[in-house]
A and B are shown apart, each in its own frame.
Chain A
Amino acid sequence: MALKPRTVRTIVANAAVALLTAVTLLPLFWMVTVSFMPRGESNRFPPPFWPSRWSWENYYELLVRRLIDGAWFDYRIVPALWNSIAIAALSTGLGLLLTVPAGYAFAKLRFTGRERLLRLLIAALVVPGQVAMLPLFLMLKEIGLVNSYAGVILPGLAGIFAILFVRQACLRIPDEMIDAARLDGASEARIFRSIVLPLLAPITVTLALFMFLGSWNDFLWPLIVLSDQDKYTLPVAIAGIVREHAQDGELMMAAAVVTTLPVLALFVTLQRFYMRGLLGGSVKG
């Protein structure tokens, strides 16, 4: 019996998407399976897909401080993990505190110089952040903030993109709502807190996710600013290890898993907000 053309198309299209997804997720899947292989197993041809036996030895080697003959052997990944979490959380918290009110102000509050400042901000988007990096390092050195949490977080707080993002969302809030509250005698701060913030909740979560992700995955600036191994963030720590231990494939995959798993988990749990923030509510589930 011949299949209807639409059924054929359905099967083909779904198969294509499934294949694309499988190919896309394959590297991440392989990363996890190799991390559980015993040492030396991945340097084989043909490359193995599945561990011959599941072993925690790579994670143990990576994460556990071991005492051998009276001396510590330590990759310092766990401190790096805490550093990443702390720095990302601080960046996100402070970043939201700074940019959400500013975005609202640019959208809904009238003040002199608003348009000019806005144009300057948009123009500033074109300048790559790396231009400022070298002098910024020298500046931070003078204030003594090199090799500190503050030195890593501070440059990330200049969230021009975040301000514009929040502004875009605030523009959709009807003016009448705010004017009505003003007529009722509410202060601007009160209006912001009780009316605008609740409406911005999904945007705030999306922005928070963006900021957290951005800070967690940031590489170049922490690489430059942090010199103490105890203060390294995860990407800097594993970049340091990989240059020395390139042949320990399983160990490197374990390090990669430790770095990607937390954000992947966060992303999968909160992906509804993230997608809504990106799609702007224009696409149904």
Chain B
Amino acid sequence: MTRQSRAAWLFTAPVLAIIALVFVLPTVLALGLSVTDYSIYALADWSNLRFVGLGNFVDLLTTPLFWRALGNTALFAGLGVPMAIGASLAAALLLHDTTIWWKPLWRVALFAPYVTSVVATAIVWRFLLNTRFGLINYALGLIGIGPVDWLGDPHASIPAILIFVTWKIFGYNMIVFVAALSAVPQDLMEAARLDGASRWGRFRHVTLPAIGPTLLLAAVMSVAGFLQLFAEPYVMTMGGPAQSTVTVLYFMFDEGFKWWNLGQASAVALILFILILGVTIVQTRIGRRYEWL
């Protein structure tokens, strides 16, 4: 082995070993668990364990709560990603304007929610969204909108959580987009302005293609993040009302750790993996078509 190879293995072996141990091995075991009927009876007595092949997956397909969880998660991602990316982009555009003073100050302030703990801020937002005493309904009341039962109405619960999640994460992509906006070629912008293009035209034809790849990458990572929502429903709504905020991961947690149906929970985890993989592939395809990747 060359000197470089030796050094390389010395540098990489520890972390690769850990990755194999805590990531690769359990993922393979999850595949194994998902084809057994591991339940609390198996925890009591190993011999109660049976191999069920695709039985868990078939059971899931006939479990209405699983479909609800899938639907809720899809709704979270479908509504949440445009909301979050849109908010980040809007904030970045605002911050990018040359007439803004004290940019570092605003950047830090708008980023602050991202570094806070989800549990702590979920508690704060639970009180903000309180139907009677919450600030949100108070503010809405000031402009004449009646109180919304944010956490009690099954139709309002997902928007409520999405507003919270957007508030929490928009700062991160905002910074990423600010960096991308700075990289937009200025000579193209000048040329467009000299040609008389409107603000919107300049945005559409110069800015957007330039930040396209960044937008796409942010969207891909956002989708994966939204598909893994757990802490917010756990702290704010316990999956309710009427199970309208049960996500796939919440379902998996309940199934796995509350009722100890590890076989079925592993099946759910694998389905989640396939979903994320599928979405990522679709998005990379789209990106390739627009030559953004």
Contacts and interface: CB of A to CB of B under 8 A. Distances in A.
A238 B111 CA distance: 24
Interface string A247-285: 001001101110110011001100100010011101101
B120 A259 contact: yes
Interface string B30-50: 101100000000000000000
**Which of B120, B178, B252 has its CB near the most chain A CB atoms (within 10 A)?**
B120
B210 interface: no
Interface in B9-25: 9-12, 14-16, 18-19, 22-25
Interface residues of B, number: 92
A25 interface: yes
A144 interface: no
B243 interface: no
Contacts of A133: 26, 256, 269
A6 interface: yes
Interface in A5-29: 6, 9-10, 13-14, 16-18, 20-21, 24-28
A79 interface: no
B117 A158 contact: no
Contacts of A246: 126
Given A238-B120, A280-B179, 4 more contacts: A105-B11, A126-B276, A130-B269, A158-B19
A75 to B, nearest CB: 14
A120 B117 CA distance: 31
B30 A128 contact: no
B273 A234 contact: no
A216 interface: yes
Interface string B248-266: 0100110011000010011
Given A134-B256, A267-B112, A42 B133 contact: yes
Given A21-B109, A44-B133, A280-B179, A99 B127 contact: no
Given A128-B224, A130-B228, A256 B12 contact: no
**Which of B15, B110, B257 has its CB near the most chain A CB atoms (within 10 A)?**
B15
Contacts of B133: 42-45, 47
A31 interface: yes
Contacts of A126: 224, 273, 276-277, 280
B230 A102 contact: no
Interface of B: 2-12, 14-16, 18-19, 22-27, 29-30, 32-33, 91, 94-95, 97, 99-101, 103-104, 106-113, 115-121, 123-128, 132-135, 138, 167, 171-172, 175-176, 178-179, 182-183, 224, 227-228, 230-231, 234-235, 249, 252-253, 256-257, 262, 265-266, 269-270, 272-273, 276-277, 280
A131 B106 CA distance: 38
A64 interface: no
Contacts of A217: 115-118
A163 interface: yes
A34 B128 CA distance: 11
A21 B176 CA distance: 18
Given A101-B12, A128-B224, A28 B113 contact: yes
A272 B176 CA distance: 15
Contacts of A219: 117-119, 230-231
B178 A235 contact: no
A71 interface: no
B118 A155 contact: no
B101 A14 contact: yes
Contacts of B14: 98, 102
Contact of B257 (A30, A224, A239): A224
A16 B15 contact: no
A177 interface: no
A201 interface: no
Contacts of A267: 108, 111-112, 115
Given A111-B8, A271-B108, A158 B99 contact: no
Interface in A116-150: 117, 121, 124, 126-136, 138-139
Contacts of A53: none
Given A117-B16, A127-B27, A264 B115 contact: yes
Contacts of A155: 22-23
B18 A154 contact: yes
Given A45-B133, A109-B11, A127 B26 contact: no
Contacts of B101: 14
A213 interface: yes
Contacts of B108: 267-268, 271, 275
A172 interface: no
Contacts of A249: 127
A36 interface: no
B110 A20 contact: yes
A114 B253 CA distance: 36
A1 interface: no
Contacts of A160: 19, 23
A112 interface: yes
A285 B231 contact: no
A30 B135 contact: yes
